[in-house]
Structure 1
């Protein structure tokens, strides 16, 4: 895998799987990219998600191909083997997934590694394990994840910055365009969005609305 990574790529980070939209998944992804998404993570999880390894690989390869047309990094959630097989630009792991240090060994030093961090301690551990960025949240109440923890708000990002966490941070959880400025002011490098784009009637417009708040 090859990962070229910069903080700017976290500006508008779209996360989705087939379970997050009732429309054609690749059409949604294409429209979101047209609207200005700067990074995409395939998070294929839940009851309605694709289960077979063969189908998941096909999904990942096609999503990667769409992202490459827009020169946007393609990240796989949780599944290190799928990330390697699909030639993804990187992998994102949660606290209940593969340990970040193990993930780094599997994907190699050049791939992007993102880690979900709820506490300052988890963020510090991610830095030590070689993470390129941490995803922090939930910022606000969210219905995209059944296992979402209690809301921490943008102040958690401020606390992390004050504690010395200096790698890129992307916020996640219930984020709407009007939240963007407060999140960036807290010290985040960008925002990540699932349902606000994936469930939108116009993913292109939804992404563009977020982008307009990032300027």
Structure 2
């Protein structure tokens, strides 16, 4: 596993969401985030049909491969295989970790969403490589699990203490509050609108990365 594929090295994690992009194309947002130093990109786009997500995934695969940055696909193990992604991120109602790894191979990165310590430990016991923990703060995004008012940084700390894989905080995070999430024990932070909705996604990525790096 190279350094960029090691979740413990991830500081900033972009989850795509065209609904937040003010009409800009997702590949444009991703290219800007890559220029700003994003560590990992997740193809989400839950509002798109499978064919559209496949074609978008192929475009993102080219961009991320050229930047030596992992591409993760949200939920869909079949789509992750089809676009030759580096891995998949699974929700609590998705396929089990062991099935995803069987389909994608032993080197695939498999992440799992968790909002409680019990969910986190179960995911790690099943073989998850990292956890997406949230929603940390209140959010209207549909890509995170947990209380819409946010589970808070105390839960991040509890999860980080309970498991031996990296926890990535997600949900309502931006450059203004990311440090608290990392100081609580998260290896890094995952964001949607903090980058996608920004007037300058590259600058937003750079700012977020600086905050997280300082907090680490």
TM-score using structure 1 length: 0.90
1-structure distance, mates of 2:145, 2:210: 27
Q: Is the CA contact 1:142–1:148 (under 8 Å) kept in the aligned structure 2?
A: no
The CA deviation at 1:161 is: 2.9
1:100 aligns with 2:117: no
2-structure distance, mates of 1:191, 1:74: 16
Query: Helix, strand or coil: the match of 2:31?
Result: helix
The residue aligned with 2:35 is 34
Query: Helix, strand or coil: the match of 1:140?
Result: coil
2-structure distance, mates of 1:31, 1:176: 17
CA 1:142–1:7 in 2, change beyond 3 Å: closer, same or farther?
A: same
The residue aligned with 2:20 is 20
2-structure distance, mates of 1:103, 1:20: 29
CA 1:43–1:60 in 2, change beyond 3 Å: closer, same or farther?
A: same
Long gaps (5+) in structure 1 = none
The residue aligned with 1:185 is 183
Long gaps (5+) in structure 2 = none
Task: Work out which structure has the larger RCO, using CA pairs closer than 8 Å and 6 or more positions apart in sequence.
Answer: 1
The residue aligned with 2:158 is 159
The CA deviation at 1:107 is: 1.5
Runs of 4+ aligned residues of structure 1 deviating over 4 Å after TM superposition are none
- RMSD of aligned C-alpha atoms? 1.9
